[in-house]
Amino acid sequence: MNGPRREALPEGIAGLADFEAHARARLSEPAWAYFSGGAADELSLRANRTAWDALRLHPRVLRELAGGHTRTHLLDRELPHPILLAPIAYQQLAHADGEIASAYAAAAQDAGLILSAQSSTPLETVAQAMAGGAGPLWFQLYIQPDRGFTRELVQRVEAAGYQALVLTVDAPVQGARDRERRAGFKLPAPISAVNLAGAIPPARAALGSGQSALFDGLLSTAASWRDVEWLHGITRLPLLLKGVQHADDARQAMDLGAAGLVVSNHGGRTLDTVAATAELLPYLAEALRARAGPRASLLVDGGIRRGTDVLKAIALGADAVLLGRPYVHALATAGALGVAHALRLLRDELEIAMALCGCKQLSEAGPHLLWQTRP
């Protein structure tokens, strides 16, 4: 396996937002629309960012901070820091090295990586690139209409050394992505979802009068809670559900044996006008706290751009965060080096935020750290 390309980092990259303009200049209009766009009017896309901005930190001073660290625990494993790369499909659209570059960067910065089921690189190759890193390697999964293919894919994931499955549950259909349609986005050859090659597409049933191509056609094979129970029964890997937004669904997921949840609205890409993830996070954290039994892992994505956002997420009850679009911008800008630099910037900012808030370790962060949560 060849390593990633060696590239130079542009001057003037001081924060994650600085990658965006460089990425915009390098990507085609359709690719930019695919990675950066959201559903419909993109209200939830924008809300994800503004919700983190609306939270205000309430620091303590003159605390004893020597020996502080960013270590955390996730699925009974100690991690150097709570930052993982979110599952993002077709990364070769952003850079020729695609997911390989992201994996090398994650390994270099001890960050976790969740590989998309729609990766443009074989899952086994990505696992090899992640070898030696201290961060976890998980696989994001959509249950395919062909359940036999899904079982075989899970077996491949286990054999390749992935440590958890992340089942996306909030996208039984694609959202109305107006920006993509305006840009005429189509996946260019030879980029494809290589790990899904060979999956049998759902049969197109003949529709009767008054029937819906969506409800009576495509959704006739959509995943349900029965499939969550089935999936839990065919794998030895911990199972997390990504995209749960309602407390009742969170409780049902736990009842079916899920090891954790990813609080997510799919980056605002599926259903528009849903709540921002920073708003959903404390609500779902409370639902899990009120439930008897082992403590579930809780992660969050959507709008994370600064180390202060990571600290706020931990204060609201998250164990870790997923970084999304910014690392694709970094990937498009400078490949593996860009992604590694983005991760380093975010971790450095987290340490700065912790120090300035008087937090020696992440376990000291709680609602008291946020000004707006105070009476």
Tell me how far apart the alpha carbons of residues 225 and 240 are, in angstroms, rounded to a whole number. Answer: 13
Tell me how far apart the alpha carbons of residues 63 and 14 are, in angstroms, rounded to a whole number. Answer: 28
Active site residues: 266
